Amino acid sequence: MIANDVTEFLWEDVARGTHSVWAVGYDAEGKEYTTSKVKLSLFEPQLPFNGTPALIPGVIEAEEFDYGGEGNAYHDNDEQNRNKGDRDEGVDMSNTAVGYTQTGEWIEYTVDVQKSGTYEVVATVASGSNGSAFTLYMDNTFIIPGADGTPGGFIDVPNTGSWDDFTTVKASLNKLTKGVHVLKVEITGDWVDLDKLEFNLLEADPDDTNEVMDVAADSKIIPDGVYNAYDANGKFIRSVNVRNAYSNQLKSGYYFFMNTSGKVYPLYINNK
């Protein structure tokens, strides 16, 4: 006989991350029945480390990656922090650098590009092995040019003799666009130790103001600050930096903005 009753269970204090959930039932004779497993991923909102996006041009400290947890603001191959930093994260970080990196691992930073144009990045790095390398994305699009000038390149990190002996490596970037974005650092060759990334503006667009299409906005309705933007279906879109007016950081449509305190503001954007 199949029971039609609905059983509810309140699961409290669930840790962030991915969990497997399944149900186990027993009939009157004690025979066990098990459902298939369902994976649930629980993330905290992705927010910049210092409360506001890191500025470009400027310096980004490697250990100041976004809050948001495994699979959301970073990916590390294990949950242990082998560099003994103060932050309770799975990234192998000290209080001054990120290390013990392996191919496929990545970390993200919410950034605010001040001017559209061409940039270079100067990375302070170390490695005690050969073949170490990394690449950069902006909003999941490559910004390191390949050998033929198209996106998809990476930055080689030399063997500096030890993971405590830092040097700098430099690379030109594809054009960056003014506004708030998510920068991703992905390891493409094991054992990069990363201290910081310095972004320098090489040449600004002659007039980058024509990229911004402002719409009416009242700071009394939505105060200036950094918000996570969600679409009408509750899907996270990106972090947005609000400064008196809302630009084409987002396409036209209905959104909900959530600030760092969890307060939500509905907003309709009409980029004419």
- Model pLDDT, residue 211: 38
- Model pLDDT, residue 253: 72
Question: Pick the residue with more confidence: 110 or 249?
Answer: 110
CB 80 within 8 A of CB 91: no
| Rounded-to-integer distance, Cα 254 and Cα 258, Å | 14
Phi and psi, residue 264, nearest 5°: -110, 135
Whether residue 212 is predicted with pLDDT greater than 50 in this model: the reply is no
DSSP code string of 101-151: --TT-EEEEEEEE-S-EEEEEEEEEE-SSSSEEEEEEETTEE-SB-TTSSB
Half-sphere CA count of 199, side-chain side, radius 13 A: 26
Tokens representing 251?
């396409």
- Model pLDDT, residue 271: 60
- Model pLDDT, residue 3: 55
Tokens representing 136?
């950069």
**Pairing state between β 54-56 and 106-113:** parallel
| Rounded-to-integer distance, Cα 232 and Cα 212, Å | 23
Q: What are the pLDDT digits (tens) for 77-97?
A: 988 888 777 888 999 999 999
Question: Pick the residue with more confidence: 112 or 237?
Answer: 112
Please tell me the pTM assigned to this model. 0.67
Range with the lowest mean pLDDT among 129-133, 194-198, 220-224? 220-224
Average pLDDT over residues 224-243: 74
- Model pLDDT, residue 270: 65
Whether omega before 57 lies within 30 degrees of 0, making that bond cis, reads yes
What is the SS3 assignment for 263?
Answer: coil
DSSP code string of 21-86: E--EEE-TT--EEEPPPEEEEE-PPPB-TTSSPEEESEEEETT-PPBS-BTTTEE-SSS--TT--S
The ranges assigned to domains in the chain are: 54-208, 212-269
- Model pLDDT, residue 213: 33
What CATH number was assigned to the domain covering residues 54-208?
A: 2.60.120.260
Q: What are the pLDDT digits (tens) for 141-155?
A: 999 998 877 778 999
pLDDT class of 219 with cuts at 50, 70, 90: very low
Average pLDDT over residues 135-143: 95
Whether residue 215 is predicted with pLDDT greater than 60 in this model: the reply is no
